[in-house]
Chain A
Amino acid sequence: MLEFQVIVLAAGKGSRITELTARKPKCLLPIGNQPMVYYPLKIIEKYGFKEVFLVVLETAKSEVEFALEKTDLAINVNVVTIPYDCDWGTADSLRHLASYIISDFIVVSSDLLTTINVKSILNFHRKNESSLTAVYLQPNTDVELNFVTPGTKSKTKIEKDLVGIDPVTKRLVFLASASDYEEVLPIKEKLLRKHGNVRIYTNLLDAHFFVMKKWLIKYLTFDKNLTTVKGELIPYVLKKQMSRDNKLPSLIDISPEISPMNHQNEKKTVDIFLLAKDLDYDILAKTLSSYNDHTGDLNPVYLNDNIKCYSYITKEFGIRTNTLHDFYKANKTVANYWNKIVEQELIKISPESVIESTQFDKETCIVGSMTKIAAKTSIKSTIFGTGCVIEQKTRISDCLIMNNVVVKEGCVISNCIICDDVIIENNCTLTSCLVGSQYTVSSKIDIFLNSVNNFKINFFFYCRFLGSHKNEILAEIESLMEI
């Protein structure tokens, strides 16, 4: 029997990067000319998994399948769809998959770009007999990237997670968001009585990589109030971990007749502790063993807990590409970590591309197939998708250019994200701009432009002379309104 099944959640709508997801599902946004979802799938494949469940929106199914065919993935991807307009959370998606899950399972988000060692996470999970293991990334302070995110300048408030762990046993004991509190952070006395040493991290990034016991998904099918994994399921399980009912049944108590479901009650409630109960021989093994995971009190191993959550904290590289900033950062850094993730050389310049430019920096550029770059151009630190046409006398630096983009003569573009099917006409100057898909940046006078302020759409009408733009979002208003 399979020990672990893998679920990749790729049904996110990209609500934080609407500028980019107007015409493309979030999971297919390119990172280093590969769709975002390629990276978690590749990692899973690398560690020997043969099969994976990929949850996508029903509207995106064919597009995703088509995109995956073009990649070199050998893993068997079962695409499972969820309805588009129901606003399902991540836990809803898991519940949808419940009938497929027959063993313990791994949940990965499609926006995770990382080099984490899945094997050691699984070993950690096995060793601790964890009910739920959450992976957290510790920021690596050595690599500091300084760049301006394209688009309108906005102060992005970084949401800080407060992650409390027991540093001795690596138990996950506390999880909250800094915005949940105002001035004081209350810590329950009960928690400190149970765990004498609690370390609260403020700088960790939740990788959204979870390893869970089979019973958790079973529990989800009973408790339909839980809609998200990080926001609701894990806090709920943590709370249950602190409950005084969270104890191993002594061998005498075990009777096979107890069913976890309470049929007398019309509502059909379920006892999470009975669901989480170990197999009898596991309990026997724990009782007989002299192993203990902690010192300092006289409590039995694992504090006699039935439900146990653990945190795996690693210093490996990892980015969640769920904001524009992180998406851009991922594209800038992916080449450095390519070898570690994919374990083969990155073909930076597609052999099917035509590059006539003499001032072309091979080291820092990635070029997709069918892209033509004319002579008399200066190109550096830029990623080009497929089918782009770059005409003469252009200068492009530090850009992310997606597929089928046409840049006409005399343009100067730096630090921009340019989405699919964009046409940039003659003599435009773009600095730190984000150009939405199918948009045409015109060089004519008097163009009304719309500036979009991250989430809220404001209508600002600007008058421009020549197509010179700085720190703007250029996109068609309709495409943004949709979302």
Chain B
Amino acid sequence: MNSKTVNEKLHSKTNVEKENIIQAVVVADSFNKTFAPASHCLALLPLVNKKLLDYTLEWLNIAGVNEVIIFCSSHVNEIKQHLSDKVYLSIDIKVLVSEGCYSFGDVMRALDRYAVIRNTFVLLSVDVIGNFNFVPIIEKFKTIQKNDKEISMMTLFKEIGNQRTDLGNNFIVAYNSENRIIHYHVQNSRNLELPLDVVLEQDFVEIRNDLLNPGLAICSDAVPPLFSDNFDFQTINDFIRGMFMNEEIIQSTVYCEILKGNNYVAKVTNWPMYQIVSQDIVRRWTYPIVPDISEKYSYSKNSIYLKNATFSQGCRLGSDIVIGSDTKLKKNVYVHNSIIGCNCLIGNDVIIENSFIFDNVKIDDNSVIRYSVIGHKCHVKKKCVLEKNCILGPLVTLNAESKINNIALISKTSSSSICKLTSFSDGCYVYENSDSEDEEIASLVCEQKIHENNELSSASEWGSSCSVSSSPINLLDDVNIFYNEVIDSLTRGYEDKLKCENLILEINSSRYAYNVTVNEVNYNILRAILSIQMNQEKPTMKEILQHVDSKLKYFTPILRNYIKNEEAQRDCLPAIEDVVFTSDKLKTISPKIIQFLYDKDILSEEIILSWFDDISKNDVHNVKNILIPFIKWLNEAEEESDESD
């Protein structure tokens, strides 16, 4: 069915009661480049040998939805091409295009302009995988709507238990006995603060820290106009927070629904989640959306799914394996916990563990692949070793006997003008995630942090680890200018006793003028504050202490403004190392400085402790002994604070 026939079919159906149609809006773009080297189009990223878009449509097909609106902002033709040979029985598919959308919020505003929403609709992005029926949930939404006309959205959360991960589930939600959300808290580094008056209005307030937010919501038709009215809403989270922070202005309520038991839902936000969801599919949590039902694989014990694969003598299969059609495994291949696409050719004595291999890949003899992703039509030549977090973009040819780890490679042909290229080998370049700043702004629903050193995860922060190879000298200069300007602003502000708010404005304007990243701002602010010089010459110890104390006190509002979360805290700690530990005088009072920052809640205990562990490992500045009493005190203080409140 191509898009033309889709339209025809839509027209023929216009006389069906429009009121009872359940619409679903699928946002086919994540507005970030998390999976960029492996697949440039999120909707067409393969997951267990099937495109993400197909999972979404297959799910909606069985979930009681009648009409699906796919919203694309890029790669429109590829998506349309892909849809043309798909047939779904119970859904009508409509593709809307709006180029120039840079965030989820933009999509919602475009949706408002198109005016295609007739009633309550399901809103999801293409990377959400699920298997449950929407009808009962929409019924629930409508029941609530009868009592509360203001309801605009019902977000769906999945219970995942109390293990804390950084996989995008770091949020706390508080809702009342009717499941109305009264608080939504994204940063989990600080204590939660609930508005007392709102709490007292409720019979009880349920605070949840054990949920996953898949970015899936049932919305009333009021949602797209609300996005239009509030042009600063970028994500669903902005929307939820905006709803209860401006309760007086925006008369709108948000409810939530907790999915339990067999209802599977997850969002493929990053590589670790990609791995988790793949495993969930292979282990059939997403039933009936599993390879043997939708793709006609044969399913055998130890979760092995095969389809026309050819094996040679001595092949060994572990567990949790999917091998696509017409893939050939030569002699003595060992595969474990991996997904291999269609039409692949795996050479003799190859070992593949915990890896994802897309379609049409050729792997030559004696290669070893662990915890890696290999894109379309790659060719890994003889005796290559890929360990941990290697990501090969499409069409990469890896020379024989290469040994790589923790790197992302792309081929010349697939890269258009993404970034500066650092050559790795013939026709093969290191991929750099150059625009991490933009990504931060545009990240769709969950503000994600990829877990560092996660043993299980197939990928970690490859972007940052690779950027070492390029030396951005120009950038450093800008940062230095920025640093000097900050010092100027602060010194002047300190001497003339200017208001900190004005100083923040000044710092922000210099920041944008020199295009300095958040991390560098955080680092430089503290560095500048600590480095402001005293007027006196040869001050006594006491005077230094007083000076440091008074300037820290004075600039506390500035520090508060910038250092808001754990990441920022980590950014600014090196500033202490660079300024305080390098000066003999300041070094002795370093515990006081850190204690001050701790007392003012700028640095949290955990961060200080983990930082201390790091610096004490190779104690360059000989500060370990100076800090030990403080760290001891801190350990005890935490104990005390447990007891005092």
| Interface residues of A, Cβ cutoff 8 Å to B | 160, 162, 167, 178, 181-190, 192-203, 239-240, 242-245, 295-299
Contacts and interface: CB of A to CB of B under 8 A. Distances in A.
B203 A200 contact: no
A160 B192 contact: no
A297 B209 CA distance: 12
Contacts of A245: 639
A196 B199 contact: no
Contact of B208 (A178, A189, A197): A197
A197 B199 contact: no
22 contacts: A183-B197, A185-B195, A185-B199, A187-B191, A187-B192, A187-B193, A189-B192, A197-B208, A197-B210, A198-B209, A201-B204, A202-B200, A202-B203, A203-B203, A203-B204, A239-B642, A239-B643, A240-B643, A242-B642, A243-B642, A243-B643, A296-B161
Contacts of B162: 193-196, 296-297, 299
B190 A197 contact: no
Interface in B205-239: 205-210
A202 B199 contact: yes
Contact of B190 (A189, A240, A242): A189
Contact of B200 (A178, A197, A198, A242): A178
Q: Is the interface on chain B under 10, 10 to 19, 20 to 34, or 35 or more residues?
A: 20 to 34
Contacts of A243: 639, 642-643
Q: Which of B162, B189, B210 has the most CB of A within 10 A?
A: B162
Contacts of B199: 162, 185, 200, 202
B205 A199 contact: yes
A250 to B, nearest CB: 21
Contacts of B642: 190, 239, 242-244
Given A160-B200, A202-B200, A244-B642, A185 B194 contact: yes
Given A162-B199, A192-B192, A243-B639, A199 B207 contact: yes
Given A186-B193, A189-B190, A193-B209, A297 B204 contact: no
B204 A199 contact: yes
Nearest to B199: A185
Contact of B195 (A184, A242, A298): A184
B469 interface: no
A192 B187 CA distance: 13
B188 interface: yes
B403 interface: no
A202 B195 contact: no
Nearest to B159: A296
Interface string B7-35: 00000000000000000000000000000
Q: Which of A185, A190, A298 has the most CB of B within 10 A?
A: A185
Given A189-B188, A201-B204, 5 more contacts: A195-B209, A200-B206, A239-B643, A242-B642, A297-B162
A301 B115 CA distance: 54
Nearest to B160: A296
Given A243-B642, A296-B163, A184 B196 contact: yes
A351 to B, nearest CB: 46
Contact of A202 (B159, B164, B205, B208): B205
Nearest to B210: A196
B285 to A, nearest CB: 15
A185 B204 CA distance: 13
Interface of B is mostly: mixed
A307 to B, nearest CB: 13
A295 B161 contact: yes
Q: Which 5 A-B pairs have CB atoms at the shortest separation, nearest pair first?
A: A296-B161, A196-B210, A196-B162, A192-B209, A297-B162
A187 B163 contact: no
Q: Which of B197, B202, B204, B208 has the most CB of A within 10 A?
A: B204
A152 B159 CA distance: 52
A188 B191 contact: yes
Contacts of A198: 206-207, 209
A202 B161 contact: no
Contacts of A178: 196, 200
Contacts of A242: 642
Contact of A184 (B161, B193, B205, B208): B193
Contacts of A297: 161-163
A31 to B, nearest CB: 28
A239 B643 CA distance: 6
Contact of B196 (A182, A190, A299): A182
A159 to B, nearest CB: 11
Contacts, number: 102
A361 B208 CA distance: 54
Nearest to A193: B164
Contacts of A199: 204-207
B594 interface: no
Contact of B206 (A167, A182, A185, A190): A167
Nearest to B635: A244
Nearest to B195: A184
B180 to A, nearest CB: 15
B172 interface: yes
A189 to B, nearest CB: 5
Contacts of A295: 161
Contacts of B172: 192
A197 B639 contact: no
A153 B195 CA distance: 31
A98 B206 CA distance: 38
Contacts of B209: 192-193, 195-198
Contacts of A192: 172, 192, 207, 209
Contacts of A184: 193-196
A185 to B, nearest CB: 4
A188 B207 CA distance: 12
Nearest to A297: B162
A244 B204 contact: no
A185 B174 CA distance: 12
Contacts of A195: 162, 209
A197 B204 contact: no
Nearest to B189: A189
Contacts of B160: 296
B205 to A, nearest CB: 5
A183 B206 contact: no
A202 B204 contact: yes
Nearest to A296: B161
A187 B164 CA distance: 17
Interface in B586-614: none
A451 B66 CA distance: 72
Nearest to A190: B642
Contacts of B210: 196-197, 296
B194 A187 contact: yes
Contacts of A194: 162
Contacts of B195: 183-185
A240 B172 CA distance: 24
A187 B161 CA distance: 19
B207 A197 contact: yes
Q: Which of B160, B189, B194 has the most CB of A within 10 A?
A: B194
A181 B172 CA distance: 21
Nearest to A240: B643
B191 to A, nearest CB: 5
Q: Which of B160, B161, B188 has the most CB of A within 10 A?
A: B161
A128 B639 CA distance: 27
A186 B207 contact: no
A183 B198 CA distance: 10
Contacts of B159: 296
Contacts of B189: 189
B563 to A, nearest CB: 17
B610 to A, nearest CB: 16
A295 to B, nearest CB: 7
A298 B165 CA distance: 13
Contacts of B203: 201-203
Contacts of A239: 642-643, 645
A189 B193 contact: no
Contacts of B197: 183
B187 to A, nearest CB: 10
Contacts of B208: 196-197
